[in-house]
Structures are given as structure tokens and as C-alpha cells.
A = this chain, B = another copy of it.
């Protein structure tokens, strides 16, 4: 019925169709090179709400509403929505989705959530359990800084390896039928922990997970980096991107120029002073739901391998001396 390629990868014989997608971003995202690809940009970091956390929920509401509108669908047309975010207890998602009345499977995959939600949403459709499903996530610079590091008004200094959490949300509406690019394979990641303890160097912590899932995907599907117009990790940034290249080079595999990281695309890193690049669930989600899928619709690329990574730490685990486990979920998207 389904073609299972080894333990982690499924080739979908009933690929799900990306019926629509929407990206919402904040001020920095609006000043970056991908600004024109967003459906909505706000200079107000509160998105009209009284707190940043409520603002993050507002972003998810906007992203979902916009994606539904673009597909001429209403919330009742979705059988499921799969979503999560970085906030403690995923409140960005719970409060963002509260009023929609859509059956909801809550996910926690940290910054891999866009990959995880696309993977599970596609499997639910491929299994015949849904006609249409939403996949969504978000992050917010100010909620993430307050929670993981320091409240923004304290003016905390950032290390050179630090990344900038995107204030952004992305939503995809998947369907069993219709027109649009298709999700054709799904690779589920394993937790990979190589002992990195520097919570200000997420790229280094997550790169081994990206390598692990990408290598598993290549092996299962008998493909390599050159078989994709683009291979994209989610938010490894400049350092993590290079580590993935190095890890594959040790296997004699050249990742080549088609391997990019969304964290290197969202901002003009030099001009916007973003240190190692962008991060957060919203980084890969908004780059996918804005730039990548729009350019794909224009015919620029035919086959993407989208593989966002997540760092499965918390401030508490770091305070207790733990290293940073990572995970990476990958999906192939074909025009």
C-alpha cells in the first residue's frame, strides 16, 4: 500500500498536495531580502496584542487564515491541523488555534516543527485519514529571548555564534487532491546528541541531526544532493551549514551549491547584523511558505528536500549541565 523505504523513510504512493501556503513576519523579516515573499509583514512586534506571546498567537491566526483564504477554504474544510511552537507548553499554538475548531494534534519538534507537521500531515492524508490538513508553526524573537535567554529590554549581548530567532509564522494547507506541489517522501528523524553544551551555538548542536536524517534519506531513496534542485536545512546558520558540508565530505559526499540553509536566506546577515543567521521554527516555516513555494510555483525549482532541525533543549536542561540533543525531519517537495 505504502512504500516504506527502510525504517525512517516513506515514499508516498498517494502524495499530498500543497493547496496553499502563507507566511507572516515582523520588522526584521520585512527588512530582509525575502520581504517581498511574505503575505503579511508587521512593524509592530505585538501584532496588535498586549503581549509578545499573544502577538505570536496572532501571527499563527493570520498565517492560517491567509492560507485558508488563498485555498478558498474555511476552517471546517480542514480535517486536522498539526502545529506547535517553541514557547513553554506551546501556547503560541494553543491560543492561536483556539477559535478555529479544527481537530488538532499538538506537536513539539522545536525548530523542526514545520518538517514534522508536513510529515505527519502528509502521512495522515496518504493513509486515507484526512482529505485536508494544515501544518503550521511560529517563533517570535521577543518571546524566545525572554524565555531562553534574557528579556529583550535588558539589552543582553549576543555571542558571535548566536542566531536571531525569526518573528514569523508559516502555514501549509495539504490536500489529498488538487493542484500544487506534492510532498512525495517523508523521513522521520532520530534524536542525535554529539555532546555540544554551548546553548549559544545551536547550529553546531543541530548539524549532526541534519546529517543523520539527510544521510538516512539519501540511503533510503538512493538519491544524493545532486538529485535535488535545492536541499534545505532549517536554521543551522552559517556555522551549522558548514558542519553539515564537512560531515558529508568525510563520507566523500559533496553537498554542492544546491545545499542551502533557511537561516542564511531570511536576513541580510552582514547588513542586519544577524551574527550566525536566523533561527526559530518561524525561520524555515516562513522561508518555505514564502520564498521557496512561491519561486517553485514560478518554475524556478522542481524538487526540494526540506529538512529543518530542532534543538530539544530547555533552559533547565542547560542549567543542569546537559548537552543539546537535536532532531531533523525531512520531506521531499516536487512541483
Contact = CB atoms under 8 A, between A and B. Distances in A.
Contacts of A191: 94, 97-98, 100-101, 104
A105 interface: yes
Contacts of A101: 190-191
A206 to B, nearest CB: 13
Contacts of A109: 105-106
Contacts of A327: 104, 106
A53 interface: yes
Copies of this chain: 2
Interface in A88-134: 88-91, 94-95, 97-98, 100-110, 116, 119-120, 123-124, 126-129
A70 to B, nearest CB: 22
B90 A108 contact: yes
A173 to B, nearest CB: 16
Contacts of A7: 79, 103
Q: Which of A8, A88, A193, A325 is packed against the most chain B CB atoms within 10 Å? A: A88
Interface string A43-58: 0000000110110000
Contacts of A91: 312-314, 316-317, 322
A190 to B, nearest CB: 5
Contact of A88 (B2, B102, B316): B316
A104 B189 contact: yes
Contacts of A310: 106
Q: Nearest 10 A-B pairs (CB), nearest first?
A: A127-B127, A94-B312, A89-B314, A103-B188, A108-B108, A88-B88, A2-B128, A1-B128, A106-B108, A88-B314
